[in-house]
Amino acid sequence: MMLQVLAAAGAIGAPTRLNPVELFLHADIVVEGVIGGLLFASIWVWMIIVGFVLRIWTTGRRCRAYEDGFWNARDIDAYQKEQGKKDIPTARVVTAALAEWRRSTAGKTIDREGTRQRLAQAMDSAVTEEADRLARRLNFLATVGSVAPFVGLFGTVWGVMDSFFRIGAMQNSSLAVVAPGISEALFATAIGLFAAIPAVVAYNRFSYRVSAFETGLFRFADRFHGTLSRELEQ
Protein backbone atom coordinates (compact mmCIF):
# COMPACT_ATOMS: atom_id res chain seq x y z
CA MET A 1 0.00 0.00 0.00
CA MET A 2 2.66 2.44 1.03
CA LEU A 3 4.93 1.04 -1.66
CA GLN A 4 2.34 1.79 -4.30
CA VAL A 5 2.01 5.31 -3.01
CA LEU A 6 5.76 5.78 -3.15
CA ALA A 7 5.99 4.26 -6.59
CA ALA A 8 3.26 6.54 -7.81
CA ALA A 9 5.08 9.48 -6.29
CA GLY A 10 8.16 8.44 -8.17
CA ALA A 11 6.29 7.91 -11.41
CA ILE A 12 5.07 11.49 -11.35
CA GLY A 13 8.64 12.74 -11.65
CA ALA A 14 11.08 12.06 -14.44
CA PRO A 15 10.84 8.47 -15.64
CA THR A 16 14.61 8.22 -15.92
CA ARG A 17 15.23 8.67 -12.23
CA LEU A 18 16.49 5.74 -10.21
CA ASN A 19 13.48 5.05 -8.07
CA PRO A 20 14.16 2.24 -5.56
CA VAL A 21 10.47 1.52 -5.05
CA GLU A 22 9.86 1.18 -8.77
CA LEU A 23 12.91 -1.05 -9.09
CA PHE A 24 11.59 -3.23 -6.29
CA LEU A 25 8.10 -3.53 -7.75
CA HIS A 26 9.37 -4.39 -11.23
CA ALA A 27 11.80 -7.03 -10.04
CA ASP A 28 11.32 -10.78 -10.13
CA ILE A 29 9.62 -12.46 -7.14
CA VAL A 30 12.87 -14.06 -5.95
CA VAL A 31 14.71 -10.79 -6.24
CA GLU A 32 11.87 -9.13 -4.39
CA GLY A 33 12.18 -11.69 -1.61
CA VAL A 34 15.91 -11.16 -1.38
CA ILE A 35 15.52 -7.41 -1.33
CA GLY A 36 12.78 -7.60 1.27
CA GLY A 37 14.81 -9.87 3.50
CA LEU A 38 17.85 -7.68 3.20
CA LEU A 39 15.79 -4.62 3.96
CA PHE A 40 14.46 -6.30 7.08
CA ALA A 41 18.00 -7.30 8.04
CA SER A 42 19.11 -3.74 7.56
CA ILE A 43 16.33 -2.47 9.79
CA TRP A 44 17.23 -5.07 12.41
CA VAL A 45 20.91 -4.16 12.19
CA TRP A 46 20.13 -0.54 12.79
CA MET A 47 17.82 -1.46 15.62
CA ILE A 48 20.71 -3.34 17.25
CA ILE A 49 23.11 -0.49 16.60
CA VAL A 50 20.86 2.13 18.13
CA GLY A 51 19.84 -0.10 21.00
CA PHE A 52 23.43 -1.08 21.81
CA VAL A 53 24.67 2.48 21.72
CA LEU A 54 21.93 3.60 24.05
CA ARG A 55 22.50 0.64 26.35
CA ILE A 56 26.26 1.00 26.57
CA TRP A 57 25.89 4.69 27.32
CA THR A 58 23.43 4.24 30.15
CA THR A 59 25.15 1.14 31.50
CA GLY A 60 28.58 2.70 31.52
CA ARG A 61 27.29 5.81 33.23
CA ARG A 62 25.42 3.81 35.87
CA CYS A 63 28.38 1.50 36.48
CA ARG A 64 30.75 4.39 37.06
CA ALA A 65 28.30 6.03 39.44
CA TYR A 66 27.76 2.74 41.26
CA GLU A 67 31.47 1.98 41.61
CA ASP A 68 32.19 5.46 42.93
CA GLY A 69 29.51 5.03 45.55
CA PHE A 70 30.59 1.44 46.30
CA TRP A 71 34.20 2.25 47.18
CA ASN A 72 33.17 5.20 49.29
CA ALA A 73 30.43 3.33 51.12
CA ARG A 74 31.03 2.50 54.80
CA ASP A 75 28.62 -0.37 54.85
CA ILE A 76 28.64 -2.40 51.68
CA ASP A 77 25.58 -4.38 52.69
CA ALA A 78 23.53 -1.27 53.26
CA TYR A 79 24.76 0.27 49.99
CA GLN A 80 23.97 -2.90 48.12
CA LYS A 81 20.52 -3.05 49.64
CA GLU A 82 19.93 0.44 48.36
CA GLN A 83 21.45 0.11 44.87
CA GLY A 84 21.30 -3.63 44.19
CA LYS A 85 17.81 -3.62 42.73
CA LYS A 86 18.82 -1.37 39.89
CA ASP A 87 19.78 -2.57 36.39
CA ILE A 88 23.51 -2.23 36.91
CA PRO A 89 25.97 -4.99 35.89
CA THR A 90 28.41 -4.11 38.61
CA ALA A 91 25.68 -4.34 41.21
CA ARG A 92 24.76 -7.78 39.95
CA VAL A 93 28.37 -8.89 40.22
CA VAL A 94 28.47 -7.62 43.79
CA THR A 95 25.16 -9.33 44.53
CA ALA A 96 26.50 -12.65 43.24
CA ALA A 97 29.70 -12.24 45.29
CA LEU A 98 27.84 -11.31 48.42
CA ALA A 99 25.46 -14.23 48.00
CA GLU A 100 28.41 -16.62 47.69
CA TRP A 101 30.08 -14.94 50.68
CA ARG A 102 27.07 -15.43 52.87
CA ARG A 103 26.67 -19.03 51.81
CA SER A 104 30.33 -19.80 52.41
CA THR A 105 30.51 -18.04 55.78
CA ALA A 106 27.23 -19.41 57.10
CA GLY A 107 28.80 -22.59 58.57
CA LYS A 108 30.83 -22.97 61.76
CA THR A 109 34.12 -23.60 60.08
CA ILE A 110 35.22 -21.51 57.19
CA ASP A 111 37.31 -22.96 54.40
CA ARG A 112 39.12 -19.78 53.47
CA GLU A 113 40.84 -21.08 50.40
CA GLY A 114 37.70 -22.74 49.11
CA THR A 115 35.67 -19.61 49.83
CA ARG A 116 38.15 -17.47 47.88
CA GLN A 117 37.90 -19.77 44.89
CA ARG A 118 34.13 -19.86 45.02
CA LEU A 119 33.96 -16.10 45.33
CA ALA A 120 36.21 -15.68 42.31
CA GLN A 121 34.20 -18.13 40.29
CA ALA A 122 30.91 -16.56 41.24
CA MET A 123 32.14 -13.10 40.25
CA ASP A 124 33.72 -14.33 37.03
CA SER A 125 30.54 -16.01 35.98
CA ALA A 126 28.56 -12.89 36.88
CA VAL A 127 30.93 -10.73 34.79
CA THR A 128 30.81 -13.00 31.77
CA GLU A 129 27.05 -13.20 32.04
CA GLU A 130 26.85 -9.41 31.98
CA ALA A 131 29.14 -9.27 28.96
CA ASP A 132 27.12 -11.94 27.19
CA ARG A 133 23.93 -10.10 27.92
CA LEU A 134 25.39 -6.95 26.45
CA ALA A 135 26.69 -8.77 23.39
CA ARG A 136 23.51 -10.80 23.00
CA ARG A 137 22.57 -9.36 19.58
CA LEU A 138 26.00 -8.62 18.22
CA ASN A 139 26.22 -12.03 16.55
CA PHE A 140 23.40 -10.92 14.30
CA LEU A 141 25.56 -8.00 13.18
CA ALA A 142 28.36 -10.41 12.39
CA THR A 143 26.03 -12.66 10.45
CA VAL A 144 24.52 -9.87 8.42
CA GLY A 145 27.94 -8.40 7.78
CA SER A 146 29.26 -11.59 6.30
CA VAL A 147 26.16 -13.03 4.64
CA ALA A 148 24.23 -10.03 3.31
CA PRO A 149 26.58 -9.42 0.35
CA PHE A 150 26.17 -13.04 -0.68
CA VAL A 151 22.42 -12.87 -0.37
CA GLY A 152 22.41 -9.72 -2.45
CA LEU A 153 24.66 -11.41 -4.97
CA PHE A 154 22.24 -14.30 -5.13
CA GLY A 155 19.43 -11.88 -5.90
CA THR A 156 21.57 -10.25 -8.58
CA VAL A 157 22.47 -13.51 -10.22
CA TRP A 158 18.86 -14.58 -10.20
CA GLY A 159 17.75 -11.24 -11.62
CA VAL A 160 20.38 -11.33 -14.37
CA MET A 161 19.33 -14.87 -15.22
CA ASP A 162 15.74 -13.71 -15.38
CA SER A 163 16.56 -10.77 -17.61
CA PHE A 164 18.57 -12.98 -19.98
CA PHE A 165 15.61 -15.27 -20.11
CA ARG A 166 13.48 -12.28 -21.03
CA ILE A 167 15.88 -11.42 -23.84
CA GLY A 168 15.38 -14.86 -25.25
CA ALA A 169 11.63 -14.59 -24.93
CA MET A 170 11.43 -11.20 -26.60
CA GLN A 171 13.91 -12.13 -29.37
CA ASN A 172 15.47 -8.76 -28.92
CA SER A 173 18.86 -8.14 -27.41
CA SER A 174 18.77 -4.37 -27.41
CA LEU A 175 19.98 -2.60 -24.33
CA ALA A 176 16.48 -1.30 -23.64
CA VAL A 177 15.32 -4.87 -22.99
CA VAL A 178 18.30 -5.96 -20.91
CA ALA A 179 19.00 -2.83 -18.91
CA PRO A 180 15.93 -2.63 -16.64
CA GLY A 181 16.23 -6.25 -15.52
CA ILE A 182 19.93 -5.92 -14.81
CA SER A 183 19.32 -2.68 -12.97
CA GLU A 184 16.74 -4.39 -10.79
CA ALA A 185 19.05 -7.31 -10.21
CA LEU A 186 21.96 -5.09 -9.23
CA PHE A 187 19.64 -3.34 -6.82
CA ALA A 188 19.71 -6.55 -4.74
CA THR A 189 23.49 -6.36 -4.41
CA ALA A 190 23.23 -2.71 -3.52
CA ILE A 191 20.77 -3.48 -0.73
CA GLY A 192 22.99 -6.32 0.47
CA LEU A 193 25.96 -3.99 0.74
CA PHE A 194 23.75 -1.34 2.27
CA ALA A 195 22.88 -3.77 5.07
CA ALA A 196 26.32 -5.35 5.41
CA ILE A 197 28.57 -2.31 5.62
CA PRO A 198 27.04 -0.78 8.78
CA ALA A 199 26.73 -4.25 10.30
CA VAL A 200 30.43 -4.99 9.87
CA VAL A 201 31.50 -1.59 11.13
CA ALA A 202 29.14 -1.80 14.10
CA TYR A 203 30.16 -5.35 14.93
CA ASN A 204 33.85 -4.51 15.06
CA ARG A 205 33.24 -1.39 17.08
CA PHE A 206 30.80 -3.00 19.50
CA SER A 207 32.94 -6.08 20.06
CA TYR A 208 35.67 -3.77 21.22
CA ARG A 209 33.24 -1.91 23.45
CA VAL A 210 31.93 -5.15 25.00
CA SER A 211 35.39 -6.50 25.68
CA ALA A 212 36.43 -3.17 27.19
CA PHE A 213 33.35 -3.23 29.38
CA GLU A 214 34.08 -6.79 30.36
CA THR A 215 37.65 -6.01 31.38
CA GLY A 216 36.35 -3.09 33.38
CA LEU A 217 34.02 -5.44 35.22
CA PHE A 218 36.84 -7.93 35.76
CA ARG A 219 39.02 -5.24 37.27
CA PHE A 220 36.22 -4.30 39.62
CA ALA A 221 35.59 -7.95 40.48
CA ASP A 222 39.30 -8.54 41.21
CA ARG A 223 39.39 -5.51 43.41
CA PHE A 224 36.29 -6.61 45.27
CA HIS A 225 37.69 -10.12 45.54
CA GLY A 226 40.76 -8.70 47.20
CA THR A 227 38.58 -6.84 49.68
CA LEU A 228 36.63 -9.99 50.47
CA SER A 229 39.84 -12.05 50.87
CA ARG A 230 41.17 -9.56 53.39
CA GLU A 231 37.82 -9.76 55.10
CA LEU A 232 38.16 -13.59 55.32
CA GLU A 233 41.49 -13.41 57.11
CA GLN A 234 40.08 -11.44 59.98
Partner 1 sequence: MRTRTPFGLTGEEALGLFVAIAAHIALIVALVLSPLGRKVQPPPQRMTVSLSDTVADQATSPKPDAQAAPDLAPELGEPDHADQPLPPAPQPVATPEPRPVPKPAPRPEPKPEPKPVPRPVAKPEPKPEPKPVAKPEPKPKPVAKVEHKVEPKVEAKAASKARPDAKAKPEAKPEARPAGGDPRAHPHPAKPAGGSKIDSNFLAGLPGSTTPGTDKVSPGNKVATVSAADVRSAISRQLKPHWTAPQGADAEKLVTIIAFTLNSDGTLAGTPELYAQSGVTDANRPQAQRHVELAIRAVKLAAPFKLPADVYSHFHKFTAKFDRQLSQ
Query: Which spans of this chain sit near partner 1 (rule: CB under 8 A)?
Result: 6-7, 9-10, 13-14, 16-21, 39, 42-52, 54-55, 58, 87, 137
Q: How far is the CB of 185 from partner 1 (least distance, A)?
A: 18
Q: Which CB, 17 or 230, lies closer to partner 1?
A: 17
Q: How far is the CB of 132 from partner 1 (least distance, A)?
A: 14
Q: How far is the CB of 206 from partner 1 (least distance, A)?
A: 13
On whether the CB atoms of residues 155 and 193 are closer than 8 A, the answer is no
Residues 6+ positions from 129 with CB-CB distance below 8 Å:
92
Q: Which CB, 42 or 189, lies closer to partner 1?
A: 42
Q: Which CB, 16 or 72, lies closer to partner 1?
A: 16
Q: How far is the CB of 227 from partner 1 (least distance, A)?
A: 25
Q: Which CB, 20 or 180, lies closer to partner 1?
A: 20
Give, for 111, the enclosing helix (H) or strand (E).
none
Q: How far is the CB of 48 from partner 1 (least distance, A)?
A: 7
Rounded-to-integer distance, Cα 41 and Cα 59, Å:
26
On whether the CB atoms of residues 185 and 31 are closer than 8 A, the answer is yes
On whether the CB atoms of residues 35 and 24 are closer than 8 A, the answer is yes
Residue 174: strand, helix, or coil: coil
Q: Which CB, 50 or 110, lies closer to partner 1?
A: 50
Rounded-to-integer distance, Cα 8 and Cα 17, Å:
13
Q: What's phi and psi for 229, nearest 5 deg?
A: -65, -45
The C-alpha angle with vertex 73 and arms to 85 and 114, in degrees rounded to 5, equals: 75
Task: Write the Ramachandran bin of 52: left for phi over 0, alpha for psi from -120 to 50, otherwise beta.
Answer: alpha
Q: Which CB, 59 or 115, lies closer to partner 1?
A: 59
Q: Which CB, 119 or 195, lies closer to partner 1?
A: 195
Note the Cα 183 to chain centre separation in Å: 32
Q: How far is the CB of 18 from partner 1 (least distance, A)?
A: 6
The C-alpha angle with vertex 66 and arms to 121 and 77, in degrees rounded to 5, equals: 65
Q: How far is the CB of 41 from partner 1 (least distance, A)?
A: 11
